[in-house]
């Protein structure tokens, strides 16, 4: 997959044209002479997932209305879960992927992302998400996957899509944190 295709998917997942148009209108204002060079976080209505996932140590962007008692979950973190450390966020995301999807037989990318990133929740496009993962994993969106064979790479794809930064990339999840969290999740 080319970088241009990745950027297109990331743009779709983080709000796409709707956000761009809304933010453009805020930047320009009512008069052309009032153009702002950027929007503050408070001025932008919709935040890309990476804007909160990395600072919350939640690189797989887990959202739970009634959070489970995850190891390292910060008290009072709300539905956008916040963890003490990045590896604990990876651990929770991997455990969630295994227990909520694979263990219950929801093991196709199409099926997983219809639940993981449902249409109508922000700007999610589950089909694009599934196609992105399928391209990275070299499978079809309807292939039945095995957690033992595909879980680790799928977790990395999810982190890349949710944060915009591949595992090991600058400013994202370090390879060490990923490995520690993944190994803690599967042990």
**Start-to-end C-alpha separation, the chain:** 33
At 48, is the pLDDT very low, low, confident or very high (cuts 50, 70, 90)? low
Residue 168 structural domain: 48-186
Q: What is the mean pLDDT of residues 120-147?
A: 94
Q: What is the mean pLDDT of residues 126-131?
A: 95
Asked if residue 129 belongs to a domain, the reply is: yes
Asked if residue 10 belongs to a domain, the reply is: no
Burial label, 149 (beta-carbon count in 10 A; 0-12, 13-18, 19+)? exposed
- How many domains in the chain? 1
Asked if residue 82 belongs to a domain, the reply is: yes
Rounded Cα gap, residues 122 and 58, in angstroms: 18
Collapsing DSSP states into helix, strand and coil, what is residue 73? strand
Asked if residue 175 belongs to a domain, the reply is: yes
- Among 119, 135, 137, CA closest to 127: 119
Asked if residue 93 belongs to a domain, the reply is: yes
Asked if residue 176 belongs to a domain, the reply is: yes
At 121, is the pLDDT very low, low, confident or very high (cuts 50, 70, 90)? confident
Asked if residue 100 belongs to a domain, the reply is: yes
pLDDT of residue 49: 73
Would you give the distance in Å from CA 183 to the centre of its chain?
A: 20
Q: 29 or 132: which carries more pLDDT confidence?
A: 132
Q: What is the mean pLDDT of residues 100-114?
A: 97
């Amino acid at each position: 997959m080319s970088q241009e295709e990745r950027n297109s998917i990331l743009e779709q997942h983080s709000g796409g044209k709707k956000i761009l148009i809304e933010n453009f209108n805020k930047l320009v204002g009512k008069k052309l002479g009032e153009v702002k060079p950027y929007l503050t976080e408070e001025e932008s209505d919709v935040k890309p997932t990476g804007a909160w996932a990395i600072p919350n140590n939640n690189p797989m962007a887990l959202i739970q209305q009634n959070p489970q008692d995850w190891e390292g979950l910060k008290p009072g973190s709300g539905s956008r879960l916040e963890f003490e450390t990045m590896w604990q966020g990876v651990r929770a995301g991997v455990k969630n992927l295994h227990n909520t999807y694979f263990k219950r037989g929801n093991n196709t990318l199409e099926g997983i992302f219809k639940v993981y990133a449902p249409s109508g929740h922000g700007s999610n496009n589950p089909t694009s998400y599934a196609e992105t993962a399928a391209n990275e994993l070299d499978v079809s969106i309807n292939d039945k996957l095995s957690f033992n064979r595909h879980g680790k790479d799928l977790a990395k794809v999810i982190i890349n899509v949710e944060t915009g930064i591949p595992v090991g990339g600058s400013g994202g999840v370090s390879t060490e944190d990923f490995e520690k969290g993944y190994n803690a999740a599967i042990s």
